[in-house]
Structure 1
Amino acid sequence: MTVERMLPTDEAYELLGLTKEIADGELAPRVAKYEQEGLFPRDVLRTVGRAGLLGLPYPEADGGAGQPYEVYLQVLEILAGSWLGIAEAVSVHTLSCYPISAYGSERQRKSLPELLGGDLLGAYCLSEPQGGSDAAALTTRAVRDGDDWVVTGTKAWITHGGRADFYNVFCRTGGPGPAGISCLVADADTPGILPQTPEKTMGLRSSPPAQMVFDDARVPLDRLVGAEGEGFRIAMQALDAGRLGIAACAVGLAQAAVDYAAGYARERIQFGRAIAEFQGVGFILADMATQVSAARALLLNAARLKDAGRPFTVEAAKAKLFATDVAMRVTTDAIQVLGGAGYVSDHPVERWFREAKVLQIVEGTNQIQRLVISRSLTRG
């Protein structure tokens, strides 16, 4: 199926063409094995990085590709259609580069070419075991001791936990509430940073999250990103953009499910006819395709607002909410179209169904997105 996309430049067309080649040639042949065996695809991510896909929306002067978010999100969609784990990794890494790119000191920013070039992989340490959605209540603490911050606490649900080369660590350097939170960037080999056993997840088994324990980890004072007490604002701004990344992943996953279900329905013969010819199936496919198109439109609208420098927080919440709910519905319907065949691992729709669920949770649950949207409507 051909998906119509709005592309600002010929360069963008070429970039999406390259992404499709990588998705078809490097990702699609490997995804089943890596997901089944729980293998982290670091080698594949290096290939993606060498192709320039790990720093797409950042300025070329910093080592990025200088692409609009509208284009970057379409790259994520293509990647997710072949392997959600890779698309999510690209999204999380892009999120992890934001603090230094937007708030880093001149010395910190010198590391951007290495971060954006794909040699290093980032992680984002915000959530905690007792504080997921309530990020402002985090308890991980950093105290000054000589030339270091000494960090103590536990982070939870960290994508690339134990795999990343650097970690953005949001921790409390002051009093309670958002104003007491700061952001540090720590190297993975810092003594006292202790990755825990990865979680056993229902989907995304090639990239399960893990808890990260900080046991008196000493991070140099100059690794503070932005001003002390500015961490919560940095975190929320990064998540606005990160939610667009997750929405793009959801659109890509859902589009793959539509394409696969439609192809199966054209070939599956029952009562002497392809099941696609029966309205009971055809109408399901029509609804699936319409929902995906609507999700993509919401996503690209939010991206264009961001690219234009206009407020996009609420539109990002809408896109994340709608696109991930669509991914859950569409993958469920894809299984129904395949019938019993959809319930077995011979076909990828059961994996997409399992993967779609997590997209409703990460980067702020969909209940949090509804809260963001409703508050924008009820506040004067």
Structure 2
Amino acid sequence: MSDSMTNTSDVLALDSLLTPDELALRDKIRDYTAQRIRPNIARWYEDAVFPREIAPELGELGVLGMHLEGYGCPGRTAVEYGLAAMELEAGDSGIRTFVSVQGSLAMTAIHKWGSEAQKQQYLPRMAAGELIGCFALTEPTAGSDPSSMVTCARETDDGGWVLDGAKRWIGLASIADVMVVWARTTGENPGIRGFLVPAGTPGVAATPIEPKLSMRASIQCDVTFDAVQLGPEAILPAAAGLRAPFSCLNEARYGIAWGAMGAARDSYEAALEYAGSRLQFGRPLAGYQLTQEKLVNMLLEIQKGTMVALHLGRLKDSGRLEPQQISLGKLNNVREAIKIAREARTILGGNGVTLDYSPLRHANNLESVRTYEGTDEVHTLILGQHLTGINAFR
């Protein structure tokens, strides 16, 4: 990326707020996205293919379980993880989603709530991209309300478990080597517990949801569990109640606040470049006041959203980040990113509906990003409860 493009994307010089190490890592991920993702993403998106072969590449790049310590994980800061998410989503939301599902959800669940044996078994190979994980929480009738889940796990006399139920919109499930499954347990201590279900376990079926208008270079599945027999070692011993999966969701939501700004920035840059070269009525589109207003409004929200993400990252690294702050970042940045992507498409005119240009692809993807890890409505109510002290979810 040229210096001139960098300046037109960072009028406030937000890069000056980053350390040399943060900038170096950001540029490394940006280069990878430019060389590996951008030349291929239109084909992957059109063919509705997730490129499984990039998993070990992303492991070598050091972005899988990036924020986790030990067990072969990179142990980078929250800001560094956020910068990586932003650069990957500038390529495509589906690629950043893979990193999020693998690291912020599946690996975090094992790292935070698993036994030592589970951590040793899975985390090093997941960090390397050798094993893929998924996170099965959402159900066909329990999306925004996981407390209503009906998937259940019944304890057997030998200390094992029998798992029955269904999950929906589970990223990577059909290619996952291990599933983190959340279920309602029965018996003496009923509640929500997490289980590790290896690929190939009898009674488990994962079916990709097709066709999709969004996240086409990613995989989301319906998953069913029919009398699935699990041993005592399958349970995540430290996970009890919804606090456990919610802790993982907050990690993912944090990354989304950064990632959405990557999609927004890429849409803006595509529109800016096009406006400078496309002639209409004898002059570049960029020479018209209406076009300049659109570009300025995009840049304003990208700069503000990036400042929000960076502030969240600094709070997280200092141990002061609160859930309502994550909700603010996720709600605002994704909502504004969709507006930016759609507005960028208008500058591209009819050419903008082709896969030669990124904004409409980003806009389509962001509809999914806007929905998963808490809809606009959910995050609005989280913030509303914080402001008023009144729970308005029910």
TM-score by length of 1: 0.94
Is this contact kept in 2: 1:58–1:66, CA < 8 A?
yes
1:173 offset after TM fit, Å?
Answer: 0.5
Are residue 89 (structure 1) and residue 94 (structure 2) matched?
Answer: no
Question: Which 4+ runs in 1 deviate beyond 4 A?
Answer: 6-9
Percent identity (aligned): 30
2: distance between equivalents of 1:181 and 1:195?
22
1: distance between equivalents of 2:135 and 2:17?
30
- Specify which of 300, 315, 321 is matched with residue 325 of structure 2: 315
Q: Secondary structure at the match of 1:225?
A: coil
In structure 1, the residue matched to 2:335 is: 325
Question: What stretches of structure 1 of length at least 5 have no aligned partner?
Answer: none
Are residue 141 (structure 1) and residue 143 (structure 2) matched?
Answer: no
In structure 1, the residue matched to 2:27 is: 17
Question: What stretches of structure 2 of length at least 5 have no aligned partner?
Answer: none
Q: Which moved more, 1:104-113 or 1:3-12?
A: 3-12
- Specify which of 208, 211, 214 is matched with residue 225 of structure 2: 214
Q: Match for 2:335: what amino acid? A: D
Is this contact kept in 1: 2:312–2:326, CA < 8 A?
yes
Q: Secondary structure at the match of 1:5?
A: helix
2: distance between equivalents of 1:187 and 1:169?
10
Q: Secondary structure at the match of 1:40?
A: coil
1:179 offset after TM fit, Å?
Answer: 6.8
- Specify which of 56, 60, 69 is matched with residue 78 of structure 2: 69
In structure 2, the residue matched to 1:293 is: 303
Bigger RCO of structures 1 and 2 (CA < 8 A, at least 6 apart): 2
2: distance between equivalents of 1:11 and 1:197?
39
Q: Match for 1:240: what amino acid? A: N
Alignment of 1:1-380 (within 5 A): 1-2=5-6, 3=10, 4-5=14-15, 9-59=19-69, 61-94=70-103, 95-111=105-121, 112-145=123-156, 146-174=158-186, 180-227=191-238, 230-379=240-389
1:283 offset after TM fit, Å?
Answer: 0.6
Q: Match for 1:126: what amino acid? A: L
Q: Match for 2:194: what amino acid? A: C
1:45 offset after TM fit, Å?
Answer: 2.0
1: distance between equivalents of 2:225 and 2:162?
9
Aligned CA RMSD, in angstroms, stands at: 1.8
How many equivalent pairs are there?
Answer: 376
Q: Match for 2:37: what amino acid? A: L
2: distance between equivalents of 1:232 and 1:142?
15
1:344 offset after TM fit, Å?
Answer: 2.9
Distance 1:289 1:274, change over 3 A: same
1:277 offset after TM fit, Å?
Answer: 1.5
Q: Deviations over 1:100-139 (max 9, x none)?
A: 1112222222132222222111111000000100111100
TM-score by length of 2: 0.91
2: distance between equivalents of 1:222 and 1:346?
49
Q: Deviations over 1:140-196 (max 9, x none)?
A: 000112242110000000010211111110100148xx9711111111221111112
Q: Secondary structure at the match of 2:131?
A: coil
1:6 offset after TM fit, Å?
Answer: 6.2
2: distance between equivalents of 1:9 and 1:110?
33
Is this contact kept in 1: 2:114–2:238, CA < 8 A?
no
1: distance between equivalents of 2:230 and 2:197?
6
Q: Secondary structure at the match of 2:169?
A: strand
Q: Match for 1:133: what amino acid? A: S
Q: Which moved more, 1:275-284 or 1:218-227?
A: 218-227
Q: Match for 1:27: what amino acid? A: I
Q: Match for 2:268: what amino acid? A: V
1:378 offset after TM fit, Å?
Answer: 0.8
Is this contact kept in 2: 1:124–1:168, CA < 8 A?
yes
Is this contact kept in 1: 2:265–2:302, CA < 8 A?
yes
Is this contact kept in 2: 1:141–1:153, CA < 8 A?
yes
Distance 1:378 1:6, change over 3 A: farther
Is this contact kept in 2: 1:55–1:118, CA < 8 A?
no
